[in-house]
Structure 1
Amino acid sequence: MHPTTPDGRYFVVRQQLWRCSNPSLAPAEREALVADLMAARRAVKKAKRTDDAQALKSARSRVNEAKVALGERGPVWWDDGSPDYNRFKVTNTPYAQWYEQLPDEGSSPA
Structure 2
Amino acid sequence: MYPSTPDGRYFVVKGTLWRCSNPSLPDDVRQQLVNQLMAARRAVKAANASGDPHELKAARARVHEAKVALGERGPVWWDDGAPDFNRHKVGNTPYAPWYASLNA
Equivalent residue letter for 1:26: P
Query: SS where residue 61 of structure 1 aligns?
Result: helix
Letter in 2 for 1:65: E
* Alignment-mate amino acid for residue 53 of structure 1: P
Q: How does 1:1-110 map to 2 (within 5 A)?
A: 1-103=1-103
Secondary structure of residue in 1 paired with 2:18:
strand
- Output the CA distance in 2 between the equivalents of 1:54 and 1:28: 31
> What is the TM-score with the length of structure 1 in the denominator?
0.93
Secondary structure (helix, strand or coil) at the match of 1:101 reads: helix
Percent same amino acid among aligned pairs? 68
TM-score normalized by the length of structure 2: 0.98
For structure 1, the 5+ residue unaligned runs are: none
Task: Give 1:95 deviation, angstroms.
Answer: 0.2
Q: CA deviation at 1:19?
A: 0.1
Q: SS state of the match for residue 35, structure 2?
A: helix
* Cα distance in 2 for residues equivalent to 1:92 and 1:48: 34
- Partners of 1:98 and 1:53 lie apart in 2 by 42
Cα deviation, residue 94, structure 1: 0.2
Shift of 1:78: 0.0
Structure 1 Cα separation of the partners of residues 34 and 52 of structure 2: 24
Output one character per residue of 1:4-43: Cα deviation in whole Å (capped at 9) or x when no partner.
0000000000000000000000000000000000000000
- How many Å separate the matches in 1 of 2:100 and 2:67? 29
Moved over 4 A (4+): none
Unaligned runs of 5+ in 2: none
How far off its partner does 1:100 sit?
A: 0.2
How much is the aligned-residue C-alpha RMSD, in angstroms?
Answer: 0.8
Aligned length: 104
